[in-house]
Structure 1
Amino acid sequence: MNDKSSMRTATRVVTNNSLEIADGVSLPVPQAIQATTVLFDSPARMLPIARDSLDSPSEGRHAGFYYGGVGTPTTQALATSLAALEGGEACVLFPSGQAAIHAATAVVAQPGTILLASDSVTYTTRWLFDQVLARQGVRVRYFHPLRLDVLAQMVREPGVSAVFMESPSSMFYEIQDVRAIARLCRDQGVVSILDNTWAGSTLFDGFATGEVDLVVLSLSKYHGAPYGVSGGAIVTREPDRHMELRHFGALIGTMLTSDAASRIAVGLPNLPLRMRRMADSADRLMAIILERLGTIGILRPCAASCGADSLWQRDFSGANSLMTLRLDGVPPPALQAAIERFRVVRHGYGWGGDVSLVNLVRPNQWRDFPVGGRDDVYLRLYVGMEDPHDIADDVVHVLSNLLQSRA
């Protein structure tokens, strides 16, 4: 078991999640090394001032550590751990998930080309594509997340450079056939990009078949939210693509700070345990809602039909703790008044931290292929680390009163 490549993922993460400070001496969690200027014992060890210095590979302890503004041993250690978690070979870090998505798409989708994006991407990703990439000359076209036959025709059109997926989607949780889409892209010479944030680096392996080109992550969710840290990452198995992304991130100055990297690294070894605890609470809540409040529709991947031949059973090892509730016939003002009554579940945006959250969403307003009415309102729940009994009591109390008032 000395070969790290033969270790299971959790073991590799714990093993890699360290920082060597001297020969044979390391710390189990990367400490924040803050640096701008880096001093060398010889000018021969300094990279030359040249256009290609930012993407010049290097070897040895603290490889590539020559200027703090483009990375430190701390950020390098976190990148190594994330690559191991995702099953990739290399990782580039960014200060947010949005910055990572921007970098990934900006590098592979040049002006004049076409980016095909799943209609199920979250609203901030869509705003980025429509308001930034479009202004940079990239044509963005959206495809139905479940219509592989239509996408197959679109990918073959001239000028398509990349396909962007988010599976499951963060509102309606449509599951895409990532394997089939990635293979389709590879056959056509098109780059495939997967937003794997929902899976929290533990529930789905985007590189399982060796087909996906890039995996992007918002580290501001399960990875960093418990520590109040924002971050993003792009993981790949292709060295040339990695260096291209690293070069781009360095040039536009979007590197993750060492302090943020250190705080995220603290939670990586227990990330699967935290996600399992919250998923168990969400499972319990879902069962109680179905038992006591059967008229409420629950949107969650594992709540749908999941036969032995389903994509869910084939690709995922579990669910996270997000769910969307559909309450037919309840007017928006009544829903707004109802969520004011939550006491354990709090009001706020974002997810992945310790605190359970609730908010109202209208996902069909930005979809090209809406799942329901444009103005339909849904209740979005994120189940956190509070006692599952308290979460369930709070949710059932609020929703029971809401349904009784509707009657």
Structure 2
Amino acid sequence: MDRMTQLVRSGRDLPTDTRPAAINPPVIKASTVLYSNWEMMQSVRSRRDKGERIFSYGAHGTPTTHFLEDSLCTLEGGDRAFVFPTGLSALATVFLTYTKPGDHVAVIDNAYPPVRKLCDEYFANRGVKVSYFAPNPESLSEVIQSETSLVLAESPGSGTFEIVDLPALSKIAHEHEAILAVDNTWSAGVFLQPLLLGADISVQAATKYLCGASDIMMGTIVCKEACAKHIYDVVTLLGIITSPEDCYDTLRGMRSLYPRLKQHEQTAIELANWLNCQDEVAMVLHPSLPDHPGHEIWKRDFSGSSGLFAFGFTDEFVAKTPDFINELRLFGIGSSWGGFESLALPVSPESIRSCGSWDGPNTLVRIHAGLESPGDLIADLQQALAKISQ
């Protein structure tokens, strides 16, 4: 079946000849799980301790959690999935799983900014060496070491949207016996499947597109079988669990993920092309544009683009970036993205990069194209441009 059909039908309890089933799995809340006898309890716990996913105690998830994990594996083509309270906690778990004092990690320079803080203020102070590499394979080759245990990539990168060659990064990482993890939030697992391109782990902030309503905090890991037991052990040791209500709502949101993403994509492309024609705009950073860095790799590895991109003003107007954002009426000002509402925020590329210089405006406008009418959003951008041009 097509992946769209698979996603609609996955993570469900299907009816049988002897019983019906709800079209959406129920919310099952539990701390204590009862067993018919002591031997059964011992057997279930033994299977659980070996890494098997089984309903055994609330801290290890309930069937509601498991239905969501099944759907995540269908989405990203993985063997095992885990859910977390936030996207950052999912990324932190990857680091905790694959680093110890004396290890080295290589982190792509355009990664989600809190990851840099996590590395510099937590792991570096606990004996883990951290290097940042520019979003290209050559830069990774320069920083990777014999002690490198983990390589973290993000494609496209946060804020500046460079596309990186994941198969090439995978080859370099695996030649050094390192794990390659990829932050795949931008594509929502719909437009990019890192595990099929050589990555070992795909991470998302399900807070964004998977939920789609800007009212849930959640992170996800989907991984290959070789990584599953290692991640499971850390998740179990730390007692990481996500509420079944949030799992239920996220799974329900994923039923409409494909059509929502296509609308976000179409609107963002329309806005990007319109902005690219404005005299006040110096650059538009959107992977679908032919002059975007890594556009050819995007065409090779991605099947589409999401609603997040950025643009920068010419020198004459760049200082008015905050004024422009304040003049917008349909674009909200707020953190995160991926929901039904459009958002606009200023981004400073130099504050989220350390490898190489930045040639564009010192402030960008990061746009998330929501589900409003593209014509209305363009009219809003136009009136805000007119006001700062007066």
**What TM-score, normalized to structure 2?**
0.93
Aligned to 1:175: 163
Query: Could you say which residue in structure 2 is the equivalent of 1:216?
Result: 203
For 1:111 and 1:36, the matched residues in 2 are separated by 35
Contact preservation (8 Å) 1:92, 1:242? no
Taking only the aligned residue pairs, the percentage that are identical comes to 26
Contact in 2 for aligned 1:293/1:400 (Cα 8 Å): no
The Cα of 1:292 is off from its aligned counterpart by 4.1
Q: Which letter maps to 2:229?
A: M
TM-superposed deviation, 1:401: 2.8
- Bigger shift: 386-395 or 373-382? 373-382
The correspondence of residues 325-340 of structure 1 with structure 2, limited to 5 A, is 325-330=311-316, 334-340=320-326
Letter in 1 for 2:97: V
What is the CA deviation profile of residues 182-202 of structure 1, one whole-angstrom value per residue up to 9, with x for unaligned ones? 122112211111111111110
Q: Which residue of 2 aligns with 1:138?
A: 128
**Root-mean-square deviation over aligned CA pairs:** 2.4
Matching residue of 2:29: 34
* Paired residues for 1:147-166 under 5 Å: 148-155=137-144, 157-166=145-154
Residue pair 1:78, 1:261 contacting (<8 A) in 2 also: yes
Q: Residues 299-332 of structure 1: CA distance to partner in whole angstroms, max 9, x if unpaired? A: 1111243799910110011111112111122466
Structure 2 vs 1, CA of residues 21 and 104 (structure 1 numbering), >3 Å: closer, same or farther? Answer: farther
CA distance in 2, matches of 1:357, 1:391: 11
Report the alpha carbon displacement of residue 374 of structure 1 after superposing the two structures with TM: 10
Distance 2:121 2:234 in 1: 20
Three-state SS of the structure 2 residue aligned to 1:32 is coil
Describe the SS at the equivalent of 1:76.
helix
Counterpart position of 1:260: 246
- Choose 109-118 or 302-311, whichever is displaced more: 302-311
Q: Find the residue that maps to 1:134 and give its secondary structure.
A: helix
The residue that corresponds to 2:334 in the other structure is 348
Query: Is the aligned partner of 1:115 residue 2:115?
Result: no
Q: Aligned residue for 2:189?
A: 201
SS at match of 2:152: strand
For 1:398, the equivalent position in structure 2 comes to 384
In the TM superposition, residue 57 of structure 1 has moved relative to its aligned partner by 4.0
Q: Which amino acid aligns with 2:84?
A: F
Query: Is the 1:364–1:370 contact (alpha carbons within 8 Å) kept by the matching residues of 2?
Result: no
Change in Cα spacing, 1:197 to 1:310, as seen in structure 2 (3 Å) is same
Unaligned stretches of 5+ residues in structure 2:
none
Structure 1 position 40, deviation (Å)? 1.3
TM-fit CA distance, 1:76 = 0.6
**Cα pair distance change 1:28/1:247, threshold 3 Å:** farther
CA distance in 1, matches of 2:51, 2:355: 44
1:309 and 1:348 mapped to 2: Cα distance?
29
Match of 2:118? Answer: 128
> Superposed, which structure 2 residues align to 1:272-351 within 5 Å?
272-293=258-279, 295-305=281-291, 310-330=296-316, 334-351=320-337
Post-superposition CA distance 1:214-245 (Å, at most 9, x none):
1111111111241511111111122x421221
> CA distance change for structure 1 residues 126 and 225 in 2, over 3 Å: closer, same or farther?
farther
Deviation (angstroms), 1:254: 1.7
1:170: how far off? 1.9
Alpha-carbon distance in structure 2 between the residues aligned to 1:57 and 1:74: 18
Contact preservation (8 Å) 1:55, 1:244 = no
Matches of 2:148 and 2:111, distance apart in 1:
18
Q: Give, in whole Å, the separation in 1 of the partners of 2:138 and 2:30.
A: 51
**d(CA) in 1 for partners of 2:34 and 2:4?**
35
Gaps of 5+ in 1: 1-6
Map of 1:365 onto structure 2: 351
Q: Deviations over 1:74-115 (max 9, x none)?
A: 001101100110011110111111010000111012221000
Aligned to 2:78: 88
Q: Distance in 2 between matches of 1:183 and 1:133?
A: 25
Cα distance change, pair 331–391 in 1 and its aligned pair in 2 (3 A) = closer
What is the CA distance between 1:366 and its match in structure 2?
A: 3.3
Q: CA deviation at 1:291?
A: 3.1
Structure 1 residues 296 and 332, CA, compared in 2 at 3 Å: closer, same or farther? closer
| Cα 1:334–1:149 shift into 2, 3 Å | closer
Of residues 229, 233, 237 in structure 1, which corresponds to 2:220? 233
**3-state SS of paired residue (2:271):** helix
Distance in 1 (CA, whole Å) between partners of 2:227 and 2:155 is 22
Change (3 A) 1:386 1:371: farther
Say whether residues 1:15 and 2:5 are aligned partners: no
Q: Which residue of 2 aligns with 1:4?
A: none
Number of aligned residues: 389
SS in 2 for 1:394: helix
CA contact (8 A) 1:17 1:28 kept: no
Deviation at 1:181, TM superposition (A): 0.6
CA, structure 1 residues 47+355, in 2 after alignment: closer, same or farther (shift >3 Å)?
farther
1:251-306 CA-to-partner distances (Å, cap 9, x unmatched) read 21221110100000001121011011111111111222223446441111112437
- Structure-2 change in CA distance of 1:154 and 1:24 (3 Å): farther
Paired residue type of 1:150 = S
- Is residue 69 of structure 2 the alignment partner of residue 79 of structure 1? yes
Q: State yes or no: 1:189 paired with 2:184.
A: no
Distance between the aligned counterparts of 1:306 and 1:369, measured in 2? Answer: 19
Q: Distance in 2 between matches of 1:322 and 1:296?
A: 18
